Homo-oligomer: A and B are copies of this chain.
Amino acid sequence: MPSTAPAYKVIGAGIIGLSTAWMLHRAQPTARISIIDPAPISGASHWAAGMLAPTAEMQFEQDELVELMVRSMELYPKLVDSVQKNTNVDTGYNTEGTFVAAADAADRQHLHDLLNYQHSFTRRADMLTLSEARRLEPALSPNISGVVSIPDDFQINPRQWCSALIDALKSSGVVDFESRPATDEDLGPSSIVCAGLGASSILSSLGLELPLRPVFGEIMRLDVPAIHRPILQRVVRGFVNDRPVYVVPRTSGELVIGATSREDGRDLPQAGGVLDLLRDAARIVPSVRDCDITEVGCGARPGTPHDMPYIFRHAPSGTVVSTGYFRHGILLSALGAQLGSALLLGTDSELDAADVRALELCGQLK
């Protein structure tokens, strides 16, 4: 009975909106879903490197965020699988694991301290000898001081993954994409706002002042010349003179380099950030120097005061909000989609204990 089927509006066609729409569709296959965005996959989902790294990305004193990251990582394989069954678009999901390399002795100490924190969450993480590490990743510099292997930290290619989600959603026959900005009329109990940084202005008409701020970062894409392929099998993260850097190899031969973070409101890539990234990446993987630069960009993550996302139903209007995923939007999207869709469908009472706990941690603005 499609004519009486419920209808939902998802505002924002980045990874959060698209994943949420997919979860909605899976839960209620006949429901009509409108996805409203003038420029799909144009925000953080366009820029992100796509690491799924609950272990490597742990930061001290963020225990509650780690809970969310671990929980979301558990949901990811099934989410990817369900989408992959409904599209021919490759998702760029890669389960080869992650290395974290330390440049100097102080960086090695940092790595060691982090290892203890990672083990306190019973995550797998093992210090390798340099020769062990270089046997597995020969492109690693011989002049580094330590490598930790994290076999359960993966990656996905966010641009491909979002394209796959769009394709699967379109194939469903019940999802429409509306290429327009959201208006006040789009808000209400059947709507979920997943518009990243754009959520602030959309929600302000409800009197809801969401404290989102843009946290900018330089990100580069490089093409690996044939002579160096495959340059890496795994994601290689690094600490170089206490600066983080990541070098993410795609099966396509593309390399993604990033990790800078600044809150100066400037939305173009800065020379200092690009310099640091290239120097630090080449410190860990010297053949990065020989790669062609195909893109130098700058993206903004939607930052929040406590580094936790906001997933809650705004009681006065009934609108569901799902934004503020900050540095971990790609990883947290699976959990965000599960919680956001449950709130919208009103099935949150059926969630299991871990999800209810996650919802509590995210729902600070309820």
Complex Cα–Cα for A258 and B312 (A): 51
The residue in chain B whose Cβ has the minimal distance to the Cβ of A270 is B292
- Asked if B266 contacts A275 (CB within 8 A), the reply is no
A198 within 8 A of B: no
Known A-B contacts A275-B282, A278-B275, A279-B275; the reply to A268 vs B292 at CB < 8 A is: yes
A272 within 8 A of B: yes
Q: A225-B266, A275-B289 are in contact. List 19 more A-B contacts (CB 8 A).
A: A220-B271, A222-B271, A223-B268, A268-B294, A269-B292, A269-B293, A270-B290, A270-B292, A270-B293, A271-B278, A271-B282, A271-B288, A271-B293, A272-B288, A272-B289, A272-B290, A274-B293, A275-B275, A293-B296
A7 within 8 A of B: no
Q: List 14 A-B contacts (CB under 8 A).
A: A268-B293, A268-B294, A269-B292, A270-B289, A270-B291, A271-B278, A271-B281, A271-B289, A272-B289, A274-B278, A275-B275, A275-B279, A278-B278, A296-B296
**What is the CB-to-nearest-CB distance from A262 to chain B, in angstroms, rounded to a whole number?**
11
Known A-B contacts A266-B225, A278-B278; the reply to A271 vs B296 at CB < 8 A is: no
Known A-B contacts A225-B266, A266-B225; the reply to A282 vs B272 at CB < 8 A is: yes
**What is the CB-to-nearest-CB distance from A274 to chain B, in angstroms, rounded to a whole number?**
6
Contact indicator per residue, chain A 211-229, by CB within 8 Å of chain B (1) or not (0): 0000000001011010000
Complex Cα–Cα for A271 and B290 (A): 6
Complex Cα–Cα for A272 and B342 (A): 49
Cβ contacts under 8 Å, A296 to chain B: 293, 296
Complex Cα–Cα for A223 and B270 (A): 9
Complex Cα–Cα for A176 and B289 (A): 45
Contact indicator per residue, chain A 288-326, by CB within 8 Å of chain B (1) or not (0): 111111101000000000000000000000000000000
Pick from B268, B271, B272, B291: contact of A271, CB below 8 A: B291
Cβ contacts under 8 Å, A270 to chain B: 289-293
Complex Cα–Cα for A296 and B269 (A): 11
Complex Cα–Cα for A274 and B282 (A): 12
Complex Cα–Cα for A275 and B274 (A): 8
Complex Cα–Cα for A275 and B287 (A): 13
Cβ contacts under 8 Å, A282 to chain B: 271-272, 275
Complex Cα–Cα for A270 and B223 (A): 9
Complex Cα–Cα for A295 and B222 (A): 15
Complex Cα–Cα for A1 and B123 (A): 89
**What is the CB-to-nearest-CB distance from A23 to chain B, in angstroms, rounded to a whole number?**
38
Complex Cα–Cα for A31 and B187 (A): 70
Q: Which of A271, A272, A294 has the most CB of B within 10 A?
A: A271
Cβ contacts under 8 Å, A278 to chain B: 271, 274-275, 278
Complex Cα–Cα for A290 and B271 (A): 6
Cβ contacts under 8 Å, A266 to chain B: 225, 292
Complex Cα–Cα for A291 and B289 (A): 22
The residue in chain B whose Cβ has the minimal distance to the Cβ of A291 is B271
Complex Cα–Cα for A303 and B292 (A): 22
The residue in chain B whose Cβ has the minimal distance to the Cβ of A222 is B271
The residue in chain B whose Cβ has the minimal distance to the Cβ of A275 is B278
Contact indicator per residue, chain A 259-286, by CB within 8 Å of chain B (1) or not (0): 0000000101111101100110110000
Chain A to chain B: the 7 pairs with minimum beta-carbon distance, closest first: A272-B289, A268-B292, A275-B278, A269-B293, A271-B291, A296-B296, A271-B289
